[in-house]
Amino acid sequence: MNTLFLGLIILISHSMIAQSEEFNKNNSIKSFSQSSLENVTILNPTRRNLSEKPSITYVKDTENIKNILGEFFKALLENHEKSLFKTFTENAVILPSGCTAKQGWTSIKKYWFTSDDASKTTITKLKYAIEDIKVDLNTAIIRATTVQSDFYVAGKLRAERNDLKQNYLIYFERQLDNTWLINTLMWSDI
């Protein structure tokens, strides 16, 4: 019995090594070394969700995710705290452009709705476009772009920005009740 068990483990190990070697042959790993990109590795795995007839579940999930994204951007434009947090998981993380990560509702709320220096940013215009969407069983990723105008007030200082372009990368998770919520949100100015 022990010999059979050990043989099974060896067989599985050899199979995993062969699969790993086959994966490395079929999926190119590219490394870039430029002044702004040091030691970056990009993996190009096989793309998902490209069948000619996606399943009904996939179509429904994609629509639900797009709706949550729309609710997020609407709440952001309207500066509506409760609506905004309805689109996030409790342990969500945001990675604002040029700032440290903010994890959990308390940290996100402090970043977006209260600040130590009593400053306030008000978004006056916001348009978004979904560039790409990938949906798996319990996770989804959206790449989107936005164009927004806003103004920033801190004491007597007032700064206005018009038509600021941003890239967004948003990671969604399916919840136990089958709804989708944002777990990780990252953006950068273009």
In CATH, what number is assigned to the domain containing residue 77? 3.10.450.50
Residue 74 has pLDDT above 60, yes or no: yes
Residue 18 has pLDDT above 90, yes or no: no
| Banded model confidence at residue 112, pLDDT cuts 50, 70, 90 | confident
**d(C-alpha 121, C-alpha 158), whole Å:** 10
Whether 36 and 60 map to the same domain: the answer is no
Residues 31 and 80 grouped into a single domain:
no
Is the pLDDT at 51 greater than 80, yes or no?
A: no
Q: Check if the beta carbon of residue 140 is closer than 8 Å to that of residue 180.
A: yes
**What integer pLDDT is reported at residue 118 of this predicted model?**
64
159, 98: one domain = yes
Whether residues 67 and 103 share a domain: the answer is yes
Which carries the bigger pLDDT value, residue 25 or residue 131? Answer: 131
Distance of CA 14 to the CA centre of its chain: 35
Residue 155, pLDDT score: 82
The token duo for 43 is: 């993996």
The verdict on 8 and 80 lying in the same domain is: no
**Residue 101 within a domain:** yes
pLDDT tens readout for residues 38-50: 333 333 333 455 5
Determine contact, residues 128/75, Cβ cutoff 8 Å. no
Q: Within a domain: residue 48? A: no
Distance from the Cα of residue 175 to its chain's centroid: 16
174 and 96 part of one domain: yes
Number of domains in the chain: 2
> Taking the complete model, does pTM exceed 0.85, yes or no?
no
Written as six digits, the tokens of 67 are 């709706």
Q: Which domain holds residue 87?
A: 56-189
Q: Return the pLDDT at 19.
A: 41
- From residue 45, how far is each of 29, 30, 131, 171 by CA, in Å? 9, 12, 19, 18
Residue 116 counted as domain residue: yes
pLDDT recorded at residue 140: 95
pLDDT tier for residue 120 given thresholds of 50, 70 and 90: confident
Give 130 or 25, the one with higher predicted confidence. 130
With residue 116 as reference, give the H or E element that holds it: none
In this prediction, residue 72 has a pLDDT band, given cuts at 50, 70 and 90, of very high
Is residue 129, in this structure, part of any structural domain at all?
Answer: yes
- Residue 94 pLDDT greater than 60, yes or no: yes
Residue 51 forms part of a structural domain: no
For residues 156 and 62, state if they share a domain: yes
* Cα gap 159→72, rounded to integer Å: 24
Q: Are residues 37 and 123 in the same domain?
A: no
